[in-house]
Amino acid sequence: RDNVPADSFASVQQTFEEETGKKIAEVFRDFDPTPFASASIGQVHHAHLQDGTPVVVKVQHPDVTTLVNTDLHLLQRAVDLLKYVPTGKTVVNPTAVIEELSRSLRTEINTMQEVRNGEEFYRLNNQAGIIRVPKVYRDYCAPKILVNELMKGQSIQHLVNQKLSDDQDVKQSQ
């Protein structure tokens, strides 16, 4: 999650422009070319909309769809071969598992599903007590692009590291 190589800014720019039909400079007053995070599906950049609103822009890696489709095809071929392997009673239906996995992964790589979910979650929960939800800027989103309001915070990894450190302090004092 934290050690995925980042794509070049030229690649990010090309993906953004192909997906949205807009130039980065048209949409954003500034756009940090260096991502602050990169994971298996995409990377995330800080930016400001033209009106100065701070946002984060998630840009899908260029080959993700191809890689997912290739992996799913290979997995399906492996499952197809299982019918030639003598086994006892099957507890799990491998074909059903592959179909569900395919549906789930294809939903994951279509950012517009994330846009719809984010908008609905925002509508239902924003300003509900202590919960704050980032606003989704749909006008700038596309199947491989997600633009959300910037919300300051720390990675959950910070809490894990803090817990590990606290546990070590307790052990050392005993």
| φ, ψ dihedrals at 40, nearest 5° | -60, -35
Q: Are 106 and 120 in contact (CB under 8 A)?
A: no
| φ, ψ dihedrals at 167, nearest 5° | -65, -40
Joined tokens for residue 163: 């817990």
Where helices occur in 49-151 by DSSP H, the ranges are: 64-82, 94-108, 111-125
Q: What is the pLDDT of residue 157?
A: 73
Distances (CA, A) of 122 to 14, 53, 112, 115, 131: 29, 17, 15, 10, 10
Name the helix (H) or strand (E) containing 18.
helix 9-20
DSSP-derived secondary structure letter, 143: T
State the DSSP string of 19-73: HHSS-HHHHEEEE-SS-SEE-SSEEEEEEEETT--EEEEEEE-TTHHHHHHHHHH
Per-residue pLDDT of the chain (174 residues; tens, 9 = 90+): 456 678 999 999 999 999 999 999 999 999 999 999 888 788 999 999 999 999 999 999 888 777 777 777 777 777 777 666 666 665 667 777 778 877 777 777 788 888 999 999 898 888 767 777 899 999 999 999 999 999 887 767 777 777 666 666 555 655
Q: What is the pLDDT of residue 5?
A: 79
Q: Is 95 helix (H, G, I), strand (E, B) or coil?
A: helix
